[in-house]
């Protein structure tokens, strides 16, 4: 019960116009966005993209780390559970995104194997551990075999008076689960995980960059 109401409060917070406004500009430290953009390119996230491909920006918020010049004709779709975040994103990026969709990362409103790349920046640590696992499995479900998922998040921060956490170990542990391995085998997916910490000087806590090749 307590866990459920905590989740509801966290979710309601994201749809407040004032919170959406705070997250609508450049990150306070430009070295943060530079490090993320650089690593996205280095990790091969854009490699092989072409017209007809789809890039999912999950929990897009109102700020984009994607570089449209590297899309090579692919389209991006933003999914977020906050309508205010999506409105602010649309105001800034307009037709640079192919769609703006209200949806929950633990139940992504997209078909199985429907996207070629998935990016998810700074969502995971706001979810409970159970939700993080669900969101991970949803990202793998919607991403086509051969596709890539990039996950970026701080290890620990304080948000609305609560400590929020993300650790790449949650990903490796989830993928080691035998039932999940069996599910992935049925789906024809083998997932390779690579993870590292981005070099952001004076970062509040380690910033993890995790790449999953599906």
Q: Which residues contact ligand SAM (rule: CB under 6 A)?
A: 14, 23, 59-61, 63, 80-82, 85, 104-106, 121-123, 126-127
Dist CA 166 CA 144 (whole Å): 25
Please, which residue, 61 or 147, has the CB nearer to ligand SAM? 61
Looking at the DSSP assignment, which residues form a beta bridge with residue 56? Answer: 77, 118
- Least spacing, CB of residue 214 vs ligand SAM, in Å: 20
Please, which residue, 20 or 54, has the CB nearer to ligand SAM? 20
Please, which residue, 80 or 116, has the CB nearer to ligand SAM? 80
- Least spacing, CB of residue 123 vs ligand SAM, in Å: 4
- Least spacing, CB of residue 13 vs ligand SAM, in Å: 9
- Whether the CB-CB separation of 195 and 166 falls below 8 Å is answered with no
Q: By beta-carbon distance, which residue lies closest to ligand SAM? A: 61
- Least spacing, CB of residue 186 vs ligand SAM, in Å: 26
Dist CA 159 CA 10 (whole Å): 9
Q: What are 9's two structure tokens?
A: 């409060």
For residue 135, give the nearest of 151, 147, 156 by alpha carbon.
151
Go through 128-139 and write b for each residue having 16 or more CB atoms within 10 A of its CB, e for each that does not: beebbbbbbbbb
Please, which residue, 118 or 121, has the CB nearer to ligand SAM? 121
- Least spacing, CB of residue 64 vs ligand SAM, in Å: 8
Please, which residue, 92 or 213, has the CB nearer to ligand SAM? 92
């Amino acid at each position: 019960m307590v866990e459920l109401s905590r989740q509801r409060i966290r979710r309601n917070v994201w749809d407040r116009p004032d919170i959406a406004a705070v997250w609508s500009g450049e990150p306070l430290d430009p070295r943060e966005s530079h490090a993320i953009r650089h690593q996205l390119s280095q990790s091969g996230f854009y490699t092989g993209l072409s017209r007809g491909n789809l890039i999912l920006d999950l929990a897009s918020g109102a700020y984009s780390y994607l570089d449209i010049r590297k899309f090579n004709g692919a389209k991006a779709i933003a999914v977020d559970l906050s309508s205010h975040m999506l409105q602010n994103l649309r105001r800034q990026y307009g037709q640079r995104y192919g769609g703006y969709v209200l949806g929950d990362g633990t139940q992504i409103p997209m078909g199985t194997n429907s996207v070629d790349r998935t990016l998810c920046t700074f969502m995971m640590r706001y979810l409970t551990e159970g939700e993080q696992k669900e969101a991970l499995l949803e990202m793998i479900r919607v991403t086509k075999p051969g596709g890539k998922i990039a996950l970026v998040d701080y290890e620990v921060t304080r948000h609305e008076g609560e400590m929020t956490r993300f650790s790449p170990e949650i990903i490796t542990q989830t993928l080691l689960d035998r039932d999940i391995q069996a599910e992935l085998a049925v789906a024809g997916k083998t997932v390779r995980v690579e993870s590292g910490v981005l070099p952001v000087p004076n970062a509040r806590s380690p910033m993890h960059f995790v790449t999953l090749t599906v």
